[in-house]
């Protein structure tokens, strides 16, 4: 019974936002067709949200307005829209087929365009409500990187680049995006963490291929080591740590030390160093214990230890969690070899591991012959294991597929979310500009996703259907009104692009017919249009089945 209630709750939590989101977007799309059809003098017989049997209907004038049982689309039925219908001379003036080709183009184009302009309106609303944006604050800067040598430090806030004021990290990314390969000289004004003064850093940014394959910019100006990402405060607890006995466990995240809030790994030792080791140490942490579904706040207090001369991570038996295993996959080489959740990776083929990238690099270099020697620490003891990696297909961060050797493990994540601010405007004109810019960005990303798909740089496994839309709607709805509206705008732009694809049965297919009619001076034959419609329907159904297959594959982890 509990499982049934849980399933029903999921249906409601995902289904309601999905129906609301899709219903609004379908209404907007069909409203575009309807309004322009009426404006052109076409008689509209049915305006329906949904397909199939009509649940509710209301007739006004010549039009029946209906709500139908299947909420996965909608339609506007216009009088005389089927070529070949027998129509009297009197009715030709309200027949869609008998309107000029330019009027028919306007009616068909109105639906997709309404989705585009609706996305602008939605993003205008987001601009006025406010949206989270990453602060232009640098993350962990490697002391051996070009960024560090130039003068950048972890926690620096970028004030301006080449005299252009910077308010968000997004503005940095746009400023450094390049159409062509060229190095850039950057004069960057930064404010160091904990300081009110600013300083200027001059550096040459090298042009590199843009890792964002959905961008229309082929290159970015990059300073090696310059990043917004930082390690979090999730700890790995060595078995003999005095804090282990008090209840601290690997995977716990420290949120405060003796009342001082900490958010990054780089802050821990500096905060500990300021404390008197002769006084009690109090840690506030977030972590899960057996039976917990969510992290809970835990407070641990350690009495002064005679043997501890000063506080630091090493003395307390703490280290980063990234070499601790958070998950050993079922039926994986790691599980078969005996690796367990919580093991601490020490070395691979006698190469000492320092960070998780070392693990990936060593496993990827497997020669396909001899098993890999892996040493782990488990309950304070070193354990030696032999594992034979297997070739698997992995999804990359860019959405492509990569074949490489893996053993089926994942670390205890230790990544801090960048600081954010709420960006909003009360100026309607600024909201229009912001809404248009964001909608255009979404449009470019959508178009580029199709381009990259045909270039085989994005895996077809990324194609999603109604289940993916439902999940996205449900998740963003739980996050708040702004993420939900942003998702609505993105899907509206997707509908704009998808409906313009030159596939018969879609608006884009009809537009192709009308363009041919303009060029030829006469419409295509009825037989040719029927064949094209059948081919288009077959293509569309195949795409829908493939998208649903991907949805179920992701849903059930197949």
pLDDT band at 115 (very low <50, low <70, confident <90, very high): very high
472 torsion bin: left (phi>0), alpha (psi -120 to 50), beta (else): alpha
Just list the catalytic residues.
Answer: 30
pLDDT band at 148 (very low <50, low <70, confident <90, very high): very high
In degrees and rounded to multiples of 5, residue 87 shows phi and psi of -130, 135
What token pair was written down for 378? 């488990």
Distance between CA 481 and CA 362 in Å, rounded? 44
What token pair was written down for 200? 């200027």
Instruction: With beta carbons less than 8 A apart as the criterion, state whether 312 and 336 touch.
Output: no
Distance between CA 285 and CA 204 in Å, rounded? 41
Termini Cα distance of the chain: 26
Cα–Cα–Cα angle for 414, 418, 421, rounded to 5 degrees: 155
- Return the CATH superfamily for domain 235-319: PDZ domain (2.30.42.10)
Cβ-count burial of 56 within 10 angstroms (0-12 exposed, 13-18 middle, 19+ buried)?
exposed
**b vs e for 191-200, b when ≥16 Cβ sit within 10 Å of the residue's Cβ?**
bbeeeeeeee
pLDDT at 478 over 70: yes
pLDDT at 312 over 80: yes
Distance between CA 313 and CA 505 in Å, rounded? 64
What token pair was written down for 459? 């895996």
Q: What is the 3-state secondary structure (H, E, C) of 496-524?
A: HHHHCCCCCCCHHHHHHHHHHHHHHCCCC
Instruction: With beta carbons less than 8 A apart as the criterion, state whether 262 and 271 touch.
Output: yes
Given CA atoms 428, 433, 436, 439 in this order, what sign does their dihedral have?
negative
Domain 324-413 listed as CATH 3.40.630.30: no
Distance between CA 189 and CA 375 in Å, rounded? 46
146-229 and 235-319 agree in CATH topology: yes
Overall average pLDDT of the 334-342 stretch: 90
Give the CATH number of domain 146-229. Answer: 2.30.42
Overall average pLDDT of the 5-31 stretch: 76
Q: Is 286 helix (H, G, I), strand (E, B) or coil?
A: strand
What token pair was written down for 489? 């705008």
What token pair was written down for 506? 């879609």
What token pair was written down for 282? 């109090």
Mean pLDDT estimate for the chain: 87
Answer whether 0.75 is exceeded by the pTM.
yes
Percent of the chain with pLDDT over 90: 42
pLDDT at 190 over 80: yes
Distance between CA 391 and CA 407 in Å, rounded? 9
Q: Where are the domains of the chain?
A: 2-129+485-555, 146-229, 235-319, 324-413
Cβ count within 10 A of residue 109: 20
Q: Identify the H or E element spanning 351.
A: strand 351-352
pLDDT at 368 over 80: no
Distance between CA 450 and CA 500 in Å, rounded? 13
pLDDT band at 110 (very low <50, low <70, confident <90, very high): very high
Q: What integer pLDDT is reported at residue 395 of this predicted model?
A: 67
Overall average pLDDT of the 327-334 stretch: 90
Distance between CA 252 and CA 182 in Å, rounded? 45
């Amino acid at each position: 019974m509990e499982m049934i209630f849980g399933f029903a709750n999921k249906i409601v939590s995902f289904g309601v936002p999905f129906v609301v989101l899709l219903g609004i977007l379908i209404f907007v799309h069909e409203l575009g067709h309807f309004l322009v059809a009426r404006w052109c003098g076409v008689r509209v017989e049915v305006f329906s949200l949904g397909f199939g049997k009509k649940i509710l209907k209301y007739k006004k004038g010549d039009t029946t307005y209906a709500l139908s049982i299947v909420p996965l689309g909608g339609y506007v039925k216009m009088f005389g829209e089927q070529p070949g219908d027998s129509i009297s001379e009197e009715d030709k003036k309200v027949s869609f087929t008998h309107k000029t080709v330019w009027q028919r183009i306007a009616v068909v184009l109105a639906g997709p365009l309404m989705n585009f302009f609706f996305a602008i309106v939605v993003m205008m609303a987001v601009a006025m409500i406010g949206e989270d944006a990453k602060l232009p604050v640098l993350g962990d800067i490697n002391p051996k990187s070009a960024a560090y040598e130039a003068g950048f430090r972890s926690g620096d806030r970028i004030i301006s680049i080449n005299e252009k004021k910077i308010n968000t990290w997004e503005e940095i990314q746009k400023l450094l995006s390049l159409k062509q390969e060229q190095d850039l000289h950057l004069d960057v004004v930064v404010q160091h963490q904990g300081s009110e003064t600013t300083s200027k850093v001059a550096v040459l940014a090298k042009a590199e291929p843009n890792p964002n394959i959905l961008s229309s910019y082929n290159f970015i100006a990059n300073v090696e080591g310059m990043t917004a990402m930082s390690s979090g405060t999730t700890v790995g607890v060595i078995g003999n740590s005095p804090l282990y006995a008090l209840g601290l466990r690997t995977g716990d995240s420290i949120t405060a030390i003796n009342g001082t809030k900490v958010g990054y790994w780089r802050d821990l030792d500096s905060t500990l160093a300021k404390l008197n080791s002769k006084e009690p140490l109090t840690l506030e942490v977030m972590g899960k214990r057996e039976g917990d579904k969510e992290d809970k706040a835990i407070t641990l207090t350690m009495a002064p230890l005679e043997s501890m001369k000063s506080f630091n991570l090493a003395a307390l038996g703490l280290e980063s969690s990234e070499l601790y295993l958070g998950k050993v996959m079922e039926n994986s080489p790691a599980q078969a070899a005996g690796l367990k959740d919580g093991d601490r990776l020490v070395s691979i083929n006698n190469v000492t591991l320092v960070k998780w990238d070392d693990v990936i690099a060593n496993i990827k270099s497997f020669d396909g012959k001899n098993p890999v020697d892996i040493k782990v620490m488990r309950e304070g003891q070193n354990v030696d294991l032999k594992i034979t990696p297997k070739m698997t297909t992995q999804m990359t961060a860019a959405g492509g597929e990569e074949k490489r050797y893996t053993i089926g493990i994942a670390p205890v994540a230790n990544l801090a979310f960048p600081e954010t601010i709420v960006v909003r405007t009360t100026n309607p004109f600024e909201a229009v500009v912001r809404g248009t810019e964001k909608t255009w960005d979404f449009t470019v990303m959508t178009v580029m996703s199709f381009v990259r798909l045909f270039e085989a740089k994005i895996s077809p496994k990324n194609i999603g259907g109604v289940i993916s839309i439902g999940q996205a709607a449900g998740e963003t709805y739980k996050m708040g009104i702004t993420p939900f509206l942003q998702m609505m705008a993105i899907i509206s732009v997707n509908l704009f692009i998808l409906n313009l694809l030159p596939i018969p049965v879609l608006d884009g297919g009809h537009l192709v017919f009308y363009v041919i009619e303009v060029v030829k001076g006469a419409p295509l034959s009825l037989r040719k249009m029927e064949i094209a419609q059948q081919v288009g329907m077959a293509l569309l159904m195949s795409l829908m089945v493939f998208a649903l297959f991907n949805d179920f594959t992701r849903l059930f982890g197949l």
